[in-house]
């Protein structure tokens, strides 16, 4: 596929179908509670999107996406928490005007790094900049020294462990294991009632499509092709004169920023943020969303996230014992049998039939929402 257009026609159809699904069908079919659940799932879809670029195209498996999700989420939660702990709301505390968990931990003044979070502008900037800069530092340290593959995965995992322990340990500054709860208003606008949830849902879907378009742009630009080339033959790209490390850092930072946006939306939609979305287990679960959806498919990642989370909610509601077996089995099945996930199945079996039905002239173009380069440097054998 050597067109550098922004999207191909069938991709545009795919995006439109997803848009209709998210904007029209789901809000019509689901009550507000379920819609809020979908909103929660979609926050992970941001992470999965980032992983498609970073892992699927760039070949960099990060097991620390929870770190960025958490950083974004905590930045947002700090702003909301400060607004919720105004002086009149916290009259009963020994120090009014600071978040409740600080008061419980005998902290009497707002720590310096909390102060800028009074401003919404700063918060929105921080949601993207803090994780972005953090990813830049990690990425620069690792990729400039040509650390990659499994080592990178393990080190990002260690970073996730460190951040979780730190958040849990520094209870007075972060809310500890309970996280930041009881978030109420955004600039005076209550985020808890049903109509606010619906507004937030549509806002989130809008952001998600913005991210999808950015991802599409990256993928179809020259940059995206260098990323794929780098994944498949790193040395050749290096010998051609490209700075492999810089491209990797870029992919990693984009993934981190997407994850952070997801985290911030999580804090808004769900109304709390806790270290249980930062650590190793959630980070790996985020990878599996991408793997199930298809690590090479931008739209597949969104569908995969919704599907796995929907299965998780319904299975763990009715058969809590079976859920872990199911999730574990899913990991193994996806890796062994379907390395390209749902999108791979779609591209291999469903798309050709649709093409034949419509009578398209290019039956095996594979230009659906799967990528052409299914080979992945990791043959399915």
Partner 1 sequence: MFGDYSIGDLGSIFVMQGFAGLILFSVYVLMALGLAIIFGQMGVINMAHGEFMILGAYVTWMTSNVFQSYLPSLFSGYFFLAMILAFLASGALGMLVEWVLIRHLYKRPLDTLLATWGLSLMLQQAYRSIFGAREVGVELPQWMLGSLHVTDSIEVPINGVFVMGLTVLITIAVAYIMFRSRWGRQVRAVVQNRIMAGAVGINTAKVDRYTFALGCGIAGVAGSAFTMIGSTGPTSGQLYIVDTFLVVVFGGAASLLGTIASAFSISQTQSTLEFFMSGSMAKVLTLLAVVGILMLRPQGLFALKVRK
Residues at the contact surface with partner 1, assessed by CB under 8 A: 61, 63, 141-142, 145-147, 149-151, 153-155, 157-159, 161-162, 165-166, 168-169, 280-281, 284, 287-288, 291, 321, 324-325, 327-332, 334-336, 339, 378-379, 381
For partner 1, the closer of residues 206 and 328 by Cβ is 328
Task: Tell me how far apart the alpha carbons of residues 197 and 36 are, in angstroms, rounded to a whole number.
Answer: 7
Q: Report yes or no: 344 and 368 within 8 Å, Cβ to Cβ.
A: no
* In the complex, least distance from residue 13 CB atom to partner 1, rounded to whole angstroms: 31
Question: At closest approach, how far in Å is the CB of 350 from partner 1?
Answer: 24
What span, in angstroms and rounded, lies between the C-alpha atoms of 253 and 249?
6
Measured CA distances, 254 to 56, 75, 80, 139, 221 (Å)? 13, 18, 25, 11, 15
Distance separating alpha carbons of residues 186 and 338, to the nearest angstrom? 43
Taking the complex as a whole, the smallest distance from the CB of residue 145 to partner 1 amounts, in Å, to 5
Smallest separation, CB 154 to partner 1 (Å): 5
Strand partners, 273: 180
Q: Is 228 helix (H, G, I), strand (E, B) or coil?
A: helix
DSSP line for 119-135: -HHHHHHHHHHHHHHHH
CB–CB of 277/162 below 8 Å? Answer: no
CB closer to partner 1 out of 1 and 281:
281
**Nearest to partner 1 of 273, 288 (CB atom):** 288
Instruction: Give the residue from 64, 380, 54, 6 showing the smallest Cα distance to 231.
Output: 54
93 vs 171, beta carbon nearer partner 1: 171
Complex with partner 1: residue 108 or 150, whichever CB lies closer? 150
The helix or strand, by DSSP H or E, that contains position 189, with its residue range, turns out to be strand 189-190
Shorter beta-carbon distance to partner 1: residue 87 or 281: 281
Output 205 or 256, the one with its CB closest to partner 1. 256
Contact 18, 369 (CB under 8 A): no
Contacts of 235 (CB under 8 A, 6+ apart): none
| Apex 84 CA angle, 280 and 98, nearest 5 | 85
Residue nearer to partner 1 on the CB measure, 3 or 381: 381
Decide if 169 contacts 76 (C-beta within 8 A): no
Task: State the nearest-atom distance from the C-beta of 162 to partner 1, in Å.
Answer: 5
Nearer to partner 1, 34 or 146 (CB): 146
* CB 234, min distance to partner 1, A: 12
Contact (CB, 8 A) for 310 and 25: no
Q: Are 306 and 45 in contact (CB under 8 A)?
A: yes
């Amino acid at each position: 596929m050597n067109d550098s257009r922004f999207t191909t026609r069938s991709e545009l159809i795919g995006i439109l179908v997803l848009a209709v699904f998210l904007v029209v069908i789901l809000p019509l079919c689901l009550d507000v509670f379920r819609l809020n659940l979908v909103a929660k799932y979609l926050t992970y879809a941001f992470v999965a999107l980032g992983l498609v670029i970073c892992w699927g195209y760039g070949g960099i498996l990060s097991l620390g996406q929870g770190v960025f999700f958490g950083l974004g989420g905590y930045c947002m939660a700090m702003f909301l928490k400060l607004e919720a702990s105004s002086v009149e709301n916290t009259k009963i505390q020994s120090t009014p005007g600071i978040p409740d968990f600080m008061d419980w931990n005998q902290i009497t003044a707002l720590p310096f790094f909390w102060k800028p979070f009074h401003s919404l502008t700063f918060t929105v900037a921080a949601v993207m900049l803090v994780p972005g800069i953090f990813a830049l530092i990690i990425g620069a340290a690792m990729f400039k020294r040509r650390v990659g593959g499994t080592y990178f995965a393990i080190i990002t995992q260690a970073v996730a462990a460190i951040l979780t322990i730190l958040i849990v340990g520094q209870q007075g500054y972060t809310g500890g294991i309970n996280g930041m709860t009881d978030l109420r208003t955004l600039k005076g606008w209550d985020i808890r009632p049903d109509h606010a949830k619906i507004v937030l849902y549509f806002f989130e879907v809008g952001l998600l499509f913005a991210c999808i378009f950015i991802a599409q742009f990256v993928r179809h630009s020259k940059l995206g092709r260098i990323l794929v080339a780098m994944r498949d033959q790193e040395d050749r790209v290096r010998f051609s004169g490209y700075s492999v490390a810089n491209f990797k850092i870029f992919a990693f930072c984009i993934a981190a920023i997407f994850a952070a946006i997801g985290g911030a939306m999580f804090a808004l939609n769900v109304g709390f943020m806790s270290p249980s979305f930062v650590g190793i287990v959630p980070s790996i679960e985020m990878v599996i969303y991408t793997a199930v959806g298809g690590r090479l498919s931008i739209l597949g990642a969104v569908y995969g996230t919704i599907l796995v989370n929907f299965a998780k909610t319904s299975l763990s509601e009715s058969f809590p014992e079976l859920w872990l077996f199911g999730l574990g089995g899913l990991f193994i099945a996806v890796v062994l049998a379907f390395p390209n996930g749902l999108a791979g199945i779609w591209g291999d079996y469903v798309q050709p039939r649709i093409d034949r039905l419509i009578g398209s002239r290019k039956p095996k173009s594979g230009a659906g929402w799967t990528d052409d380069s299914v080979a992945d440097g990791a043959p399915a054998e």
